[in-house]
Every structure is written in C-alpha cells, then in structure tokens.
Chain A
C-alpha cells in the first residue's frame, strides 16, 4: 500500500487511457497488438470467485459519481438467483463530465473486455451496454467493436473455446440526464419513461432489470478490469492513497489554459496540480485569478482557493464538504458572474427533473425562475433568502451529504450551486436584488461556509 510520501513524481502507468493516442486504437487488430484480451485470457484461468476477489482487493471505487466499491456491489447479488444481468451505464450527462465518451470512442474493446471479465466473475450470461443517445460516434465504434469481437470468438457462445458464454447487446438512450440514475436506467432499458424507482429495494443487485439481480457499472469502472485481471488487485491498490486506489480520469474544463481529460494517480494528485500543473490545466486563462471551481460535476458543492491543496481523494474531499463525483472539474476565474453561473447549473436541473417528486419538480423550476428574473434586472428584496428557503425545503438544513425529500439525488443536487454561490458571493447576489443584506436561512454544509467571502468579484 502507498504511504503518505507518495508523490505525483512516481511513474504511474496509464491504465485506461493507454490507447487514446493511437489513431486506430479502436480496432480489434490494434487492440490485440497492444495486449488486448490478455486480461480476459488470464481471468478464464482463474475461478470466477477468485476474479471477484481480485477486484475487491483492488478497492476499485465506482467511477460514475457515487463512488461505491465495485467489488462490494457485485457481492450484493443474492446467491442462487439467475439470470443475473450486467448493465453498463454509458449515459454520461453530468455537466463537465467527459471521459466515458472518450473511453467508448477510442478504446471500445477495453470496455468490452472489462464487461466480459465482470460477467465471468458475477455469473452473467447477458449484458446490456446502454450508451447515451447523443453519442453517435461512440455507438458506431462500439457496434463495430462488438461485431469484430463476436466474429473473433471473444463475445458470444463458448468464449475462447471455454464454457463461458455471454451476449452483449448494444442499447441506446434518447436524451434524459436522469437515466444516469441506475434504477431509471433500468426503467429505460425496459422501454419505460426514465423515472427512478422507489426504494427499497435499494440495490438493483437484489432486484433490477426484470426484477432480477442486476449489476449496474459505469464505463470507466469496467474499463479498469482488464488491467486488474492481468496485474492483480494488489498492484492496482498499490497506486493511489487512502480510500482512493488506482488512477482516475478527470476532465478539467472552463477557464484554464489547457482544458483536457487527464488520467492521474487517484488520491495523491492535488487540485492545485490539476489546475496549474503544466501537463494538466496549465493555469488560469489570461493570467486571471481563480474565483471558484466545481470539484466533481454540477451536483457538487463548489470549492475555492483554500481548497486547492486538497488531494483528489474521496475521503478528504468528502470531509471538506463536497465530492469528486464524476471527475468533472469546472474552473471559474474572477471574471465569472456567480449569479449567472449558478443560474445555468440550476436551469440544467430544472430541465432534467423527471417530475416524479414534487420538491424537485416544483423547487428546481422556482429556483430557476427567481435567478432568471434577478439576471433580467427584476430581482426583489427578499429573493436571496427565498432561494435558500426553497433549497431548505428540497434538502432540509442545506447540509452535506444532502438530506433527501425525493426518491433520487437530482433534487438535492440543485442546492449545491445555489448554497455555494450565495454564501461566498453574497454581495453579488444582493446587488441584483436591492433590499436585504443578511442571510437569514441557516446553512449546514461545510464547503458552503468554509471561509468568509473574500474572493468575490464585482458583478
């Protein structure tokens, strides 16, 4: 295991992005040339239980957003109940997130191999690869890769002349963020509107697709499996720190000189490295000052200058009151209008609310309308506290992790951008309203109340 002295200088092999620079990395021929399907071959020499043990030993956290350990999730399948299904969540839609699409477009066979290893370990004979509808190129690359893999005997009946058989069905979404929620994904795969299911049952591993045991894993999570099968769980867990092992993809976008998707050692690299490091974000655009950054997708509470030295480690980021979520880091410089930025993220949640739960359906659109009228010059004196009062109704006490009044976390997610921006940049908000100058609604989340508002720029 790594110790506290681990630094980013240590040579870390790219695990999931090793073929991104190859112009033909998506073809079977190139994949086989570069070690492709060796992980599957190795896995087939082991027992399924042993493969599952290796994944558990790797401490591979789910890379979709919730960060649940993949090996543990697999273990929730009730024994003796078949068929079990594997559903791949390729419905990447969290604002700022841009990694699963690249994995599907540039290295589709790696994902397919990862799926096969998971199916072998769990005992799945039919898997569904659910790809976001808007990602036409990813669908083409995956269709081509699956056709090649079927023809070459890597997918289908008697894989590599063994007793292991699995069909992989490519399935398309049709444009709905909420379908990234795993029970909504299953509804969608059953041909329904993508509404999250009422819990319990909490885990689709118990009752999922067609009410059968179903493992839902993210694209990046599964793309790590060929490496883990080949090199062992311990080698994977040797990289990273604390509860965050291996490597992880981060998409750095917004006001940085070099926006991009970077594979870094998980848990040791800091936000400062990622934003300012030459090989990563390379500093703020035009030499401007940093105003705020979103550390893990639109649902995450914002971070500020004083958070830059936090490691990209799930535990540390959680303790500071936010999350690494889907690995989307969005950087805002001092020229950013905090009200405008908050409004745009809120509009996203208002448009994507599925409408099943009242606090989310009504709350998100009220928030959007109030912010919009502020921006349009019609802010009212009590608007800032009204925003927070609505947030408190959607997610009581405005704390972190957020409390839920809804079936899924979409509703409470809308609170993050508002509470983050209002507390830190309160003068900007009050300036749009005229009237009240004090926040009267109690706010609990640690990241929201981290420090006095000192970095705010004039609107």
Chain B
C-alpha cells in the first residue's frame, strides 16, 4: 500500500529536513510500517520514488535492519531479551514460558495473528533483567505470573494505552516551525557559519 495523502505530506516534511533526500529512507520505512504494520513492496516502491532511488536500493537497506518486517507480524510483537544480563537473571526461562503459553516457537506467529514472539539481543534494560518489549514498549523484571497477566491483558485489548499497534514508534512527531528553521545548506556549499567570526573579533573579551 502506498502512503495515504496525509502520510505523503508527513514524508515530504521529513525529506525536507535532510540535505540529501536519501537520508530520509529509514524514517520513511518506519512511517510505512506504522501505516501498514509491515513493509509491502508497493510501499517500498513509493519510498523509492519519493527519495529518488530504485526500489531495489530501498529493499537493500530495509533487509539489513531487524525491525523492518517484510511479512505481516502479529498485532503484538513480543521481544524477549536473552542476552548475557538477562540470561543470568532468567531470560531464557522467560522465553520458554512464553513459548508454552503462546504455543509457538520464538520466531513465529500465533495462528490467530495476535502474537509474534522473538528471541532478541540486548534491548538496553540490563539492570531490569529479565526484560521484554511489546511493540517496543518495555516491561521490566518480568516474572512468569506477570507475563501471563500481560498476555491476558493484551488479548483482551486492555493495554492500548501503553502498547500502541505494531509499527508505531514515536507517538510524538518532531515539528520544525517554518519561521524557526535554521535552514538546510547543501553539502557542496562551503560557507562558514557566521558566529565563528567571533573567534577573531571577540577573543579579547573572553570571560574567565
């Protein structure tokens, strides 16, 4: 699916922030995933048009990064960390518990399309081990009882406040008001920023 008209406007605004359009590629892939839940070929083709590269180049970038899903995933992507700090505090057992509870192996999706379970690398909550993320929202020091309750809540749609749908990362978008923009200079225009001239004129009055 292509970007909606509204998201095309958001995409243009994002592209506009970079001196080179291609730099917006990863943010736009996130936007597409936010809109569609995963990356469709059509979305990647649309992004290629927007940033001025080929669809193959977009696929080349997208396929490198773990977070970009080129197949549909469950409503809830459950990422259990089993890296060293979590391993030492029960991360592996937590993953096994979830495999039993959801009836699937890590790397797969429940038949009802609700949950995708992943065995992931360090998610930077090491002092809160064992930890997991659901759609990239953190749950700390997770016990098997707590994770059972979490699964029940998610199934019942009770956690919409802290867990948005898969693909939604930041629920706040950066806004740069037109009259506050410093302005993007192209990389090939060699102009010294004005305040650097203070180095010549004001060096005598530098405070202690």
| Contact surface of A with B, Cβ cutoff 8 Å | 45-50, 80-83, 92-98, 100-101, 120, 123-126, 132-137, 139-140, 143-144, 146-147, 150-151, 153, 155-157, 162-167, 169-177, 188-194, 209-212, 251-255, 259-261, 294, 298, 328, 330-332, 336, 340-341, 344-345, 348, 351-352, 354
| Nearest-CB residue, chain B, relative to A153 | B180
Q: Inside 8 A of A330's CB, which chain B residues have their CB?
A: 84-85, 88, 126
* Cβ-based interface call for B138 (8 A): yes
**How many chain-B residues does the 8 Å CB contact rule pick out?**
74
6 contacts between A and B (CB under 8 A): A46-B207, A48-B196, A136-B137, A163-B195, A176-B65, A254-B85
* Alpha-carbon gap, A336 to B92, bound state (A): 14
Given A139-B169, A151-B177, A298-B84 contact (CB < 8 Å): yes
Q: Inside 8 A of B181's CB, which chain A residues have their CB?
A: 156-157, 167
* Alpha-carbon gap, A340 to B88, bound state (A): 10
Cβ 8 A contact of A95, one of B29, B126, B189? B126
* Cβ-based interface call for B157 (8 A): no
Structural contact, B84 and A162, CB atoms closer than 8 A: no
Structural contact, B121 and A97, CB atoms closer than 8 A: no
Of residues 168 through 185 on chain B, the ones whose CB sits less than 8 Å from some CB of chain A are 169-177, 179-185
* Cβ-based interface call for B199 (8 A): yes
Structural contact, A348 and B169, CB atoms closer than 8 A: no
* Alpha-carbon gap, A456 to B174, bound state (A): 52
| Nearest-CB residue, chain A, relative to B204 | A47
Q: Inside 8 A of A155's CB, which chain B residues have their CB?
A: 180
* Alpha-carbon gap, A133 to B26, bound state (A): 10
Structural contact, B187 and A328, CB atoms closer than 8 A: no
Given A49-B203, A146-B174, A348-B83, A192-B88 contact (CB < 8 Å): no
* Nearest CB of chain B from residue A44's CB, rounded to whole Å: 9
Structural contact, B83 and A174, CB atoms closer than 8 A: no
Between B89, B126, B169, B198, the greatest number of chain A beta carbons within 10 A of the residue's beta carbon is seen for B126
Structural contact, B30 and A96, CB atoms closer than 8 A: no
* Alpha-carbon gap, A82 to B188, bound state (A): 8
Given A96-B122, A344-B82, A190-B87 contact (CB < 8 Å): no
Structural contact, B127 and A253, CB atoms closer than 8 A: yes
* Cβ-based interface call for B61 (8 A): yes
Cβ 8 A contact of B26, one of A172, A251, A254? A172
Cβ 8 A contact of A211, one of B27, B84, B187? B187
Cβ 8 A contact of A96, one of B85, B138, B175? B85
Q: Inside 8 A of B82's CB, which chain A residues have their CB?
A: 344
* Alpha-carbon gap, A162 to B193, bound state (A): 12
Structural contact, A143 and B127, CB atoms closer than 8 A: no
Given A92-B124, A172-B169, A124-B174 contact (CB < 8 Å): no
Cβ 8 A contact of A340, one of B79, B87, B124, B194? B87
Q: Inside 8 A of B137's CB, which chain A residues have their CB?
A: 136-137
Q: Inside 8 A of A253's CB, which chain B residues have their CB?
A: 85, 88-89, 126-127, 129
Structural contact, A48 and B198, CB atoms closer than 8 A: yes
* Alpha-carbon gap, A123 to B194, bound state (A): 9
Q: Inside 8 A of A125's CB, which chain B residues have their CB?
A: 182, 185, 193
Structural contact, A143 and B174, CB atoms closer than 8 A: yes
* Nearest CB of chain B from residue A104's CB, rounded to whole Å: 10
| Nearest-CB residue, chain B, relative to A259 | B127
Between B18, B189, B195, the greatest number of chain A beta carbons within 10 A of the residue's beta carbon is seen for B195
* Nearest CB of chain B from residue A261's CB, rounded to whole Å: 6
User: Told that A48-B198, A133-B30, A212-B187 touch, could you supply 4 new A-B pairs with CB distance under 8 A?
Assistant: A155-B180, A175-B65, A194-B65, A253-B126
Structural contact, A175 and B66, CB atoms closer than 8 A: yes
* Alpha-carbon gap, A361 to B19, bound state (A): 34
Q: Inside 8 A of A80's CB, which chain B residues have their CB?
A: 190, 192
Structural contact, B19 and A210, CB atoms closer than 8 A: yes
Q: Mark B147-184, 1 if CB is under 8 A from A, else 0.
A: 00000000000000000000001111111110111111
Structural contact, B125 and A96, CB atoms closer than 8 A: no
| A-B residue pairs, 8 tightest by C-beta | A175-B66, A191-B25, A174-B65, A156-B180, A165-B182, A253-B126, A139-B170, A175-B67
| Nearest-CB residue, chain B, relative to A281 | B127
Structural contact, B174 and A95, CB atoms closer than 8 A: no
Structural contact, B182 and A166, CB atoms closer than 8 A: yes
* Cβ-based interface call for B51 (8 A): yes
Q: Inside 8 A of B3's CB, which chain A residues have their CB?
A: none
Q: Inside 8 A of A124's CB, which chain B residues have their CB?
A: 193
